Structure formats: C-alpha cells, structure tokens
Chain A
C-alpha cells in the first residue's frame, strides 16, 4: 500500500480527465487533487466556506426583505449621487464595481507574469491591484459616511424597512473587511516578490519555509473571490 502512495506522490502520471477521471481521483486510495498543491486546494476550500458565509448573509437579507410589511427603501435612489446638479442613480456603486473588476484584471495579469518569473512586473501589477483595492475601500468608507449622515442606522432609516440598515452594514461591512485583508495580503506577497524571495528561496518570516511563485496565484484566487462576491452583492442588494 505504501508503495502505491509513493508512486503517486512522485511526478504524477495523470489519469484521464473528465467523468472517468473524476471517479478514479475520488475513489482510489490516493491524493484526490492531482496537479493542485495543498496551498491552492486549501485556498479553494476556504473560499468555499466563505461562499457559505456570504450565502447565509444574502439569504438572511432575502428573508428580511420578503417578510417585512414596511416598504423597502429604493436602492437606486438611496445610493444616488448629485453630480453637477443631476441626480445620477447608483453611480458610486457602478464606479466601485468597475474599480474592483479592473483590480481583478491586473491581478490575473500579475499571476501570469508570476509564472513567467518576471519579478518586477508581478510585484508592480500586484501593487496596482492593491491600490485599486484600497480605492474601493475608500469609496465604501465615503458611502458609509454619507448614509450615516443621512440617518441610516442598523435599527432605523428615514425611508422604510428598518432591516435595510442592518443588512446593508452587515453585508457591505463584511465584504469591505475581505477587501481590506486582501489588500494587506497583496502588499505582503508583492514585497516578497519584489525582494526576489521566490528566486533566492529565502525562507518566510512566519513559516520558515521556502516560498514559490505559486503564492501569487493563491493570492489571486482570494482576490478574484472578493470580486466574485461583489458581483452577487451588486446584483442582489443594489440592483434588485
């Protein structure tokens, strides 16, 4: 039995992909995720658990909104901004969406340059991603400030159902926290890339292990997930 395991932990000869491969990957006494490192697999599993967290938030929001007898505030008006004398609906949220998508684009390119071992471009693109992320959090802080000044609280607001405030602060607050953590994560990894840690095999300050450029992709997975969650929040909370 031990021999079988060893053959697989060496350079794996990949069984066929597709349904047949799915069955054999899961059925046999071996590593399930063949060409995926533990770091990447664990990030995916963490993201899955995070999916459930945000899923529960959005379901709670749906339940509150469906069962209230008081009208739900119209997000199109609540999040409108007056620019040059015109009320433009939802404009800040639209800009935030574009900023986050742009940051996802630069992140995807950073991952690409990471695998080409292009140290400077990778670090630079990660830094750009972090700046876009920080801009997103800044705009969110502006949005919160504006709403709080207008009298929105978790327990009341001037336009209708009280649950509007609680779900809004809960969902966007949790998402903003994720973005903030992502920015910190990006800056730490970008610094390591810039310093050439993955070329010189310098050991990490926390794990004392040698890092690989793969960490750029793992950071990217987290960052894209933050963007992904925003897609759902944008659709269900702001547009619905």
Chain B
C-alpha cells in the first residue's frame, strides 16, 4: 500500500505539467515522421515497380504498411502521449477484425472448393 502511494506521487507529478496542458512538440518531430512516411511509401512502391513476387512481396508490403500505420497513429494522431485507458479502448477492439479475417479465410476456401466441384473450372490464381 505504501509502495503504491509513493508511485502515485512520483508518476502523478510528471504528466500534469507536460500533458494536461495541450501537447507541444517541436515541428521537427512532424517533419521527421513525414520524411519517414515518404521513404516507407517509396519503398512499398518500389516493391511493385521492381516486380518483387511471392512471400517476399507480401511480407514487405505488410511490414511497410504496419510501420506507416504505426507512425501515423503514434505521432500524427498523438496516441503515443495518451493514457493507456484510451490507447487500449481504441487499439484493442480492431483485434475483432483480425478474428473476422481468420473466420473468412476458411469460408473463402470452402466457396472456392464448391465452385470447383460444381462448375469444374480450373483455379485462376
């Protein structure tokens, strides 16, 4: 109990000055993030331009996409400076979308299978 009280005063003192007043960050931070987003977009465009194929293409696309999304949410949308109560409230529910994806993949496979069985077409790709 005593430990908790100490922690409260230590942590509680820090954010009040910096955070409760509106967030002030140097413009340079935004320019750096902006530059990174440009480079990442260029990288993902290059994946297509040079025609990278297969597993490498998909992993590169996903990695660049997640890095860009992370930068936008964390810095442009100021999520990095929010309290955990808001961060979890917003960032955890989209996990349901991933569950939905996991449900629809076997569903799509099943549809393809029945189409092949009943229409006898050869799979396209």
Residues on A lying within 8 angstroms of B by beta carbon are 11-22, 25-26, 32-36, 41, 44-45, 47-48, 51-52, 55-56, 59, 62-63, 66-72, 76, 89-90, 94, 97-98, 101-102, 104-105, 107-109, 112, 115-116, 160-161, 213-214, 217, 220-221, 224-225, 227-228, 231-232, 234-235, 238-240
Q: Is the CB of A115 within 8 A of B22?
A: yes
B98: nearest residue on chain A (CB-CB)? A55
Picked from A15, A90, A104, the residue with its CB within 8 Å of the CB of B48 is A90
**B39-81 contact mask (Cβ, 8 Å, vs A): 1 or 0:** 0010011011101000001100110110011001101111000
Q: Contacts of B89 on A, CB cut-off 8 Å? A: 32-33, 44-45
Q: Is the CB of A33 within 8 A of B64?
A: no
Q: Contacts of A213 on B, CB cut-off 8 Å? A: 22
Q: Is the CB of B84 within 8 A of A21?
A: yes
Q: Contacts of B85 on A, CB cut-off 8 Å? A: 21-22, 25-26, 32-34
Q: Contacts of B73 on A, CB cut-off 8 Å? A: 224, 228
Sample of 19 further A-B pairs with CB below 8 A, known A90-B48, A112-B24, A234-B41: A14-B20, A16-B7, A21-B11, A21-B84, A25-B85, A47-B90, A52-B93, A52-B96, A59-B100, A69-B119, A71-B124, A72-B124, A72-B125, A105-B37, A160-B124, A217-B22, A227-B72, A228-B69, A235-B64
Q: Is the CB of B44 within 8 A of A62?
A: no
Q: Is the CB of A19 within 8 A of B84?
A: yes
Q: Is the CB of B125 within 8 A of A71?
A: yes
The CA-CA distance from A11 to B36 in the complex, in Å, is 37
Q: For A12, A34, A225, which residue has the most chain B Cβ atoms within 10 angstroms?
A: A34
The B interface is mostly helix, strand or loop, or mixed, namely helix
Q: Contacts of A109 on B, CB cut-off 8 Å? A: 27, 30
Q: For A33, A35, A41, A224, which residue has the most chain B Cβ atoms within 10 angstroms?
A: A35
Q: Is the CB of B97 within 8 A of A52?
A: yes
Q: Contacts of B19 on A, CB cut-off 8 Å? A: 14, 35
The CA-CA distance from A221 to B76 in the complex, in Å, is 8
Q: Is the CB of B83 within 8 A of A94?
A: no
